[in-house]
Amino acid sequence: MSRDTSSGWTPVDRFREETPAASVELSYAGVKSFLKSDIRDVTDVADRDVAVLGVPYDGAVSNRPGARYGPEAIREASAWLAYLSGYKGGLTNMRTEKQVDYSALSVADCGDVPVFPMDRAETAASIRAHVATVASQGTMPVLLGGDHYCTYPAFCGVAEGGDYDSLGLVQIDAHTDTSEESAVFGEHFHGSSTHHITASKYTDYDHVGQVGIRGYEAPDFFEFADEAGITLRTMVNVEEQGIRSAVRDAIDAAAADTDGVYVTFDIDALDPSIAPGTGTPEPGGLSAHQALTVMEELGTSEDVVAADLMEVAPTHDPTGNTGRMGAYLLVTLLERLFAE
């Protein structure tokens, strides 16, 4: 049977016209991009607010692997929010009581950067180059990790691509990642990323604000932190001071006399009862409410130029809650920055 398509009108055009709901894609349907955004090459994001890059690498962990599957889990979980927005024609965030217009947030998903499981240095070079390419176009890079070592090359890539002389770091984490060297893991592993960032030419410990720290650190760590100038807010400080005030202190330290702020959020900052899917869980962490408040507060800062969400290891969480929490955290930050 032949049909005339010379007019340009096709059966699917007619179906779409007669069925407006066909424009709403179910959360579990379609390509799994972050917030169901367009897929773009990293060289073609100049017209977007945000470019998302996955880093499926966990070759620098010191405990449980699995963060290589984090980008996939976060993307999949983010689809629910994109679906809700399309289904309802916009959203009201019931926490913030703000109207959220995701159409005002232009996102491109650039897929996963090439990683090399047996070559940490080549993986770092790949991350650095891809992030720098995004930043050079004036677009905000957002990384989906991956282990926390990946933050180090990403931070340098933002500084180089964005032509920033200096950047501050806000680190939401259970651990400080300030180890210079490990007898087992050497100088380059996920417990050393903040050390390497501060050893770069783009920042120092005076411009690092850490929130949520707990567990165990090296002997005399508090003396080191005080001498180095880290703005340190442990979980004890958070409980005494309040989460918004603690985050504001971290932002102030990171933004003082710098060209911008890089936000890194290790999912193990949350209590493992909420986010068990991570490599190095520590009891006594942030609640879901506190973690969302962190992103709400960070989203009010005009200094934030890049962000990542690291260490989601979904294989350790059959409920899927850890990936879901990671997606909600990133979306909360981005909607405060661009969509309210």
d(C-alpha 267, C-alpha 291), whole Å: 9
Q: Are strands 261-266 and 304-310 parallel, antiparallel or unpaired?
A: parallel
Q: Which two tokens stand for residue 176?
A: 């400080």
Q: Is 188 annotated as a binding residue?
A: no
Q: Is 177 annotated as a binding residue?
A: yes
Q: Is 249 annotated as a binding residue?
A: no
Cβ–Cβ contacts within 10 Å for residue 337, how many? 20
Q: Is 4 annotated as a binding residue?
A: no
Closest CA to 282 of 326, 234, 242, 321: 234
Q: Is 196 annotated as a binding residue?
A: no
Closest CA to 337 of 309, 310, 297: 297
Check the CA dihedral 179-180-186-191 and report its sign.
positive
The number of residues in the chain equals: 340
Check the CA dihedral 308-193-123-157 and report its sign.
positive
Half-sphere exposure of 294 (CA within 13 A, CB side): 34
Annotated binding-site residue numbers: 148, 173, 175, 177, 266, 268
Annotated binding-site residue numbers for Mn(2+): 148, 173, 175, 177, 266, 268
